[in-house]
Amino acid sequence: MNDLVLYNVNNRVGYITLNRPEKRNALSFDFVQQIKQVFLEAENDESCKVIVIKGNGEAFCSGADLASLQTMQNNTFDENLADSKNLMELFLLIYQSKKVVIAQVEGAALAGGCGLATVCDFCFATIQSKFAYTEVKIGFVPAIVMVFLIRKVGEQTAKRILLTAEMLNAEQAKNLQLINEVIVDEEIEEYVFNFAQKICTSASGQSLTLTKQMINEVQNKTLTEALNYAAEMNAFARQSNDCKSGINAFLNKEKIVW
């Protein structure tokens, strides 16, 4: 296991911890590669049903590190494209994960770090946390992250967040639907664990996977295409063992724990 990205499982909740506190968990090419590797481990771990991403130190993730920014200035187009695709692949892994992914934000989530929180299914943050897409302030563009942000909050809100590069406190981020809840610092660990546990015990893993897949897919289809796709998925789900077990338990007034 790489010391820069830690992984452990507690009662079916898999924790991926960014462990580069001296760099405020800033993203370099190699660090992103390591996060991808550990995320795939969690994705394929049958003992893990819900994934939580968090950071050690005073920041969740401060975006690209200074060394990466300096290197970027002298890179060729192909080198910059490879670096961009590396980050894109991480975000896509998280967004398309078959498991529910939660961001537990304690401290700053900036630029690519804010993107990392955005692509998760849920985001819970402490009162002191800060969020910002700061790219335009340094002559850069929030290119990859905006694809996911627009899907999450809509075009109008995305424009405000991306074009102003405004530093948002946790309450402001919640009001803009960038995060789900603001939690007292000393309670966030327990809150996120309990939230994850509810998902683990109250929902079929197969149903969660299919529902996430459908949420992603229907946005790319016309109304007719989406409805036909939904009908097919409905029929497919009815034949699953999870659906049969769930319906039998409901009809027999039995409690089912997934």
Q: What is the pLDDT of residues 37-73, one digit of tens each?
A: 999 999 999 999 999 999 999 999 999 887 777 887 8
Catalytic residue among 135, 155, 171, 225: 135
Q: Is residue 135 among the annotated active site residues?
A: yes
* Tokens matching residue 44: 């394929």
Tens of pLDDT along 73-97?
Answer: 888 999 889 999 999 999 999 999 9
CB 94 within 8 Å of CB 216: no
Three-state secondary structure along 68-123?
HHHHHCCCCHHHHHHHHHHHHHHHHHHHCCCCEEEEEECCEEECHHHHHHHCCCEE
User: What's the CA gap between 41 and 35, in Å, rounded?
Assistant: 10
Q: Is the pLDDT of residue 1 over 80?
A: no
CB 159 within 8 Å of CB 153: no
Range 128-153 average pLDDT:
95
How many beta carbons lie within 10 A of that of residue 129, not counting itself? Answer: 26
Long-range CB contact pairs, 1-10, < 8 A, 24+: 1/38, 2/34, 2/37, 2/38, 4/31, 4/34, 5/31, 5/34, 5/35, 5/37, 5/38, 6/38, 6/56, 7/38, 7/41, 7/42, 9/45, 9/47, 9/48, 10/193
Confidence band for 98, pLDDT divided at 50, 70 and 90: very high
Q: Is the pLDDT of residue 171 over 90?
A: yes
* Tokens matching residue 78: 């192909």
Place of tokens 């996977």: 209
Confidence band for 2, pLDDT divided at 50, 70 and 90: low
Going from the C-alpha of 43 to that of each of 92, 143, 178, 251, the distances in angstroms are 13, 26, 24, 33
Q: All domains of the chain, ordered by start, with CATH?
A: 5-200 (3.90.226.10), 204-251 (1.10.12)
Q: Is the pLDDT of residue 248 over 90?
A: no
Tens of pLDDT along 24-37?
Answer: 999 999 999 999 99
* Tokens matching residue 141: 């563009």
Percent of the chain residues past pLDDT 90, beyond the cut: 84
Is beta strand 100-105 parallel, antiparallel or unpaired with respect to 122-126? parallel
pTM (two decimals): 0.93
Q: Is the pLDDT of residue 207 over 70?
A: yes
